[in-house]
Amino acid sequence: MAELNIFVFILLYLINSAVGSGILCEIGFCQKFVNDGGCSQPAADCSINNATHTGMWLPSPTLCNCCEYCLPFYGREQPCSLGGTGTGTNIGRCTDGYTCERHEDGGSYCQRMDTECHRAQDSYDQRSALGQVGVLEERPLCDGKGQYAHISCTPTQTCFCQTEHGERIFGEAPNLGAGMPEKMRCGCSMLYHKITTTISPGVPEPVTTPRCTSDGNFHPIQCVGNTCYCVDIITGRFLDGAERSVNLTEEPITKMVCYDRDLDNYPEQSEGDPPYKFTTSCYENIVEVSSWIQQSIEDGYNMEYHNSLPECLPDGSSGRIALLGNGTKICVDERGQPIKDYSAAPGTPEFDNMDCKCALTSHIMTSNELPVCCRNGNFRRIQCRRGVCWCVDAEGRQQGGESESIMTLACFNVAWRDC
């Protein structure tokens, strides 16, 4: 199938470049081309678009893309082509989550990919058929390759970014229902995750990473040295235009068309006389520690630097857990402000396992039915609402159905109220 896609791409590319001048594809050309019978009937699948017949409209691989062209998607058990020579003129592909596999009868058919995310969906579906799915449990989202989609959502609560293996990464936003996967692409936090996990830890130099917003998208302003540019928050690509960049030596980021006051966690850096800044105390700390390390190497002694470079979150902050002078940890938001009075004293189990996930989730939620958090800001494992209770995982996602009696819950523990 890959060969076919590449072939279609090359074909489109050749046609586009041959006619790119626009001379051939002038107004009226397609009308004539179509009238002269230059087009063949597109596959019906795109127009039918029901449970068994779907497809995608694409630019047609014909002169000037005049014709309508439909790439059919084949569903479960439907015949498909494995590509290569002599496999016929069958030009659709298996639909998302399916792959073309040869069968013992000699034919090839679309089969659902066997992946962790699909198994999680199947388990959800089985429990759903038995009426064992909780009201706040959401069917896992998988991508076209059967891997976990880029977000995991809890109804009425929040969505957070995750890797293709379903591992939570930076980025969380209120769950506003339909459209979340498009609004929250997590491109920045995934890129950040890739950069930081690929580069071996213990590198004594600060690594350049993109600046993300708290929802995992790209911050609309990215700076290289002292020059800042406007970028697309979904793709991170630089947007053209002189008015879209500033030189911090002369002007603050507030002069940029893409400046958004709500996303500026450090407005004081744009105040007063030039030069201006677009940094954070966490980034400055990294630069400082890194220069000590460089100095110590030049001075000929080896400072132990392994893991000693401070780590910043992808939004440039130092984290969502802050350590007070007396050793107590508290939960803070993206601007470093304490969230309610969540805290944990040193030397306690609450201190060691503090993750502030519940504090952060309830801090950004728009619904007023907030989850119950432990004193240290973690999710309480039993949540109750409107006379029923259920279990949640450390991320606040419901696990299994509701019960009127908490003692029957799998996560029940006599000390449940104390977390």
Residue 326 as a binder of ligand NAG (CB under 6 A): the answer is yes
The least distance separating ligand NAG from the CB of residue 60, rounded to whole angstroms, comes to 22
Tell me how far, at minimum, the Cβ of 404 lies from ligand NAG, in Å: 38
Q: Are 254 and 224 in contact (CB under 8 A)?
A: no
Site for ligand NAG in 257-276 (CB under 6 A): none
> Restricting to residues 338-357, which ones interact with ligand NAG according to CB under 6 A?
345
Single residue of 250, 260, 311, 352 touching ligand NAG by CB under 6 A: 250
Give the strand pairing for 388-392 and 329-332.
unpaired
Beta carbons of 234 and 190 less than 8 angstroms apart: no
Per CB under 6 A, the list member of 247, 291, 348, 413 interacting with ligand NAG is 247
Contact, 45 vs 51, CB < 8 A? no
Quote the strand ranges of 210-256, DSSP E.
Answer: 221-224, 227-230, 245-247
Query: For residue 294, what are its two tokens?
Result: 């460089």
242 makes contact with ligand NAG (CB under 6 A): no
Site for ligand NAG in 7-66 (CB under 6 A): 48, 50-53
Q: Which x/- pattern, by CB under 6 A, does the window 190-229 give for ligand NAG?
A: ------------------------------------xx--
Considering the complex, state which of residue 71 and residue 382 has its C-beta at the smaller distance from ligand NAG. 71
Residue 32 CB, shortest distance to ligand NAG, in Å, is 32
**Rounded to an integer, what distance in angstroms lies between the CA atom of residue 63 and that of residue 74?**
27
Return the number of the residue (52 or 235) whose C-beta is nearest ligand NAG. 52
In DSSP terms, which residues pair with 332 in a beta bridge? Answer: 338
Site for ligand NAG in 288-307 (CB under 6 A): none
Q: Which is nearer to ligand NAG, 52 or 353 (CB)?
A: 52
Tell whether the torsion through CA atoms of 231, 233, 236 and 239 is positive or negative.
Answer: negative
Q: Confirm if 258 and 278 have CB atoms less than 8 A apart.
A: no
> How far from 330 is each of 21, 124, 236, CA to CA, in Å?
63, 36, 33
**Among residues 37 and 347, whose Cβ is nearest to ligand NAG?**
347
Count of residues in contact with ligand NAG, rule CB under 6 A: 14
| Residue with smaller CB distance to ligand NAG, 123 or 249 | 249
* Two tokens, residue 304: 């132990």
Burial letters 228-243, b for 16+ CB under 10 A, else e: bbbbebeebeeeeeee
* Residue 274 identity (one-letter amino acid): P
- Judged by CB under 6 A, the residue of 249, 295, 353, 366 near ligand NAG is 249
Rg of the chain over all Cα atoms, to the nearest angstrom: 27
Rounded least distance, CB 334 to ligand NAG, Å? 21
* Site of interaction with ligand NAG (CB under 6 A): 48, 50-53, 226-227, 247, 249-250, 324, 326, 328, 345
